[in-house]
Every structure is written in structure tokens, then in C-alpha cells.
Structure 1
Amino acid sequence: MKRLQPLGLWLLLACLSALAGGCASFSPYSISERELERHLQDVVADFDRQQLQSGSPLSVSLDDADITLGPDGREVAVIEVRGQVALNALMTRLPVDIELKVEGAPVYDREQKAIYIRRLRLLNSRVDSPLFSGDLAPVTDNVMRLVAQMLETMPVYRLDDSSLAQRMLGMAPVAVRVAPGRLELVMDDQ
């Protein structure tokens, strides 16, 4: 067995010290609004595919998703979505255009290694279809329940296990913090 030379031993100790110091001063992992918007679009498309494959007559698609993080310095996410909900029944397709603006609290789920939006509150809504238009409370309430259910069960962001940095982050006790324009995964004090 080859012995480490004094210089090699010194370099090894310096690397271990830097690694330990880096863990202690863990800098937050940031996720931008744009990343969240792209991820939400992908998750909704996957959800729609799964719904249709399972035989559901309901399809959902997003034309646009706009996420604002930390408005007015508050620890919330405001999500504005525009898209369609369609009922595919009796050989016809009844599309309903929707616009919703909701506010909720980003929550990190350690087991799922994902961020969800919880405690949703409807800020604004609009529904348009060939049969009706406007802010119709019964229709809007049903659409809001659907959106809330989707956001409760589908993450707006999931750590990527193929990335070494994100896999390591998923093993650490982290929490989510809202900053203007981004979410930060930081070490959890609890």
C-alpha cells in the first residue's frame, strides 16, 4: 500500500475541510418563477394524459401559467392560469375556457422531495364557453376545486434525482422559503 506524501495528505485534509465548511454554510438552492411555470405546464400535461388514458371524460390543458413569488414581500405564490377544461361525452366535446388567479403557500414535502402549493385562495376567475360567460360562482367553484385538487396532489417542482446536487439536497433536512421572484430551499432549523 502506498503512503500519502505530506503534500497529498495536506491536500486531502484541505478538501475535507472545505467540504465540511461548505455543508455548514449551505447556500440556498433557488428555483425561478420561469422554472416553476415550465414544470407546472409539464405536470398538467402529464395529468391530462393520465386522466384520458384512465377513461375520464374530463380533459385539462393550460395555454399559459404565470407564477409570481413573494409579491409585496409576502411568503406566498400567486398563480395565474389560462386554459381549457373540456367534457368529452356523448360524441361531443364541450370546451370551457378558464382564467384563474389563485394564491397559496409553497410547502416542501420531504418524503416526495417536492414543492406543492397549499392553502389556496381564489383571487379572480373567468369562465367562457359556448353556453355561458362570466364569473359564474357554481362553475367557478367546481373549476377551483379541480385546480386545488391538482395543486394539492401535483407538485409545482420536484427535485431531480438524476442531478447529484439535487439528490444530495433531497437527503438533507430542508424547508422552502419564498423570496421575490424565486423559491429557495434552505436548511430547516427544526
Structure 2
Amino acid sequence: MKKFLLATILGLVALLAGCSQLSEFSINESQINNYLANKVKYEHKVGISGFADADIQLANLKSEIGRSEPGKVALTGEATVKLDSLIGKADAKIELTLTARPIFDAKTGSIYLKELNISKYKVIPENMDTAISAIIPYLNSSLETFFETQPVYVLDANNGAAEATAKKLAKGLEIKPGKLIIPLVD
């Protein structure tokens, strides 16, 4: 009798665990990072024409979901900058932290970042900080526009049955530490 009761309880636990997989689809930081590395390329020229122009390439983007700020995604990365200003030409690297609110577009199965902000940055070499700080507002605006139109993840029906189902039945987006949850039922 005890074995039957134990088997029944284990069966119910397994059934309940399986039901959560049927009611939601999750995307973890590793999946977002892989998508960012393979599909997202930011190369842009920003600045004030004739005063300071900067060719910027963003690389090594890594995501942190809902950890540093609830309901937000943080992206860290490096920007290489080729600055051409009135005082001459120079190269620098900026270590950036971007924070934004993820938004899910159910029609396309895409996750975008809205309300993006450069929350922290460090310029290397440090003597370039003054010159780079002049272009940070333009870089912030450019990155905000970029991530409003460039998804950080797109559900792909070719990535298996679970992702295909999520693309068809998605009902929104929830942010939990380390993952984005796409509910499949109301």
C-alpha cells in the first residue's frame, strides 16, 4: 500500500511538472546570449557632424535577465570606438552596461528592448573619458532605436516542437531572474 501511495504521489508530481511545460515556454540567458552573438550586429556612426564623429562597433554582448533590476534586462558588452574630432583621431574601448524593458511581439514571435539606457560605462584608456562622454547621449539614443527594431531573440518554429508551439500560442512575457517566460495560456 505504501509503495502504491508513493508511486501515485510521484506520478502526480511528474504530471504537474509536465503541465508547466505545456503552459509556458522559457528562454534563458544562454539562449539570448547565443542569439545576440550570432544575429545582432551593431555598427553605427554617431556624433555631432563636424565636431565629433565616432564609428562604433558593439561586441561581446551578454544578458542578465531580471537579476540587477526586476522586470529589466541588462546587457553588458564592449564598444570599439574610432573617434574623429576637432582635436584629432583616436581609438577607445567602452565597457557598457545597458538596461531595458523587454517587450514581446506575439505577431512575429520577437523580443525587443524598450526604454534602453546606458546605465554604466567605463572608457579605456581613461584619458579618452572626456571625449567619449560627449558622444554617450548620442550613442544611447542610437542604441535605443537599434534595439527597438532589432530583436534580441526570435522564436523559431524550426527549433523544436516546444518553440513552435510557443510561437503559435504565446500570450505575453514575464521576467524572472535568469529567464524570460512566455505564457501559452491566459
TM-score by length of 2: 0.68
In the alignment, which residue of structure 2 is the partner of 1:171?
Answer: 168
Are 1:143 and 2:136 matched, yes or no? no
CA distance in 2, matches of 1:188, 1:114: 18
Count of aligned pairs: 156
For the residue of structure 2 that corresponds to 1:162, the secondary structure is helix
Deviation track 1:124-171 (CA, whole Å, cap 9, x = no partner) reads 123346982358432111221222122111111111131342222212
Structure 1: unaligned runs, 5 residues or longer: 1-21, 52-56
- Answer whether contact 1:58 1:86 (CA < 8 A) is retained: yes
Aligned runs of 1:1-190 on 2, under 5 Å?
26-45=22-41, 48=43, 58=55, 60-62=57-59, 64-71=60-67, 74-86=70-82, 95-128=91-124, 132-133=128-129, 136-165=132-161, 166-187=163-184, 189=186
Give 4+ residue runs of structure 1 displaced > 3 Å after superposition: 22-25, 85-88, 93-96, 127-131, 134-137
CA distance in 1, matches of 2:76, 2:20: 37
CA distance in 2, matches of 1:100, 1:24: 36
- Answer whether contact 2:170 2:182 (CA < 8 A) is retained: no
Structure 2: unaligned runs, 5 residues or longer: 1-17, 45-53
Closer, same or farther in 2 for the Cα pair 1:184/1:25, shift >3 Å?
A: closer
Percent of matched pairs sharing the same residue:
21
Closer, same or farther in 2 for the Cα pair 1:164/1:41, shift >3 Å?
A: closer
RMSD between aligned residues? 3.3
CA distance in 1, matches of 2:29, 2:131: 27
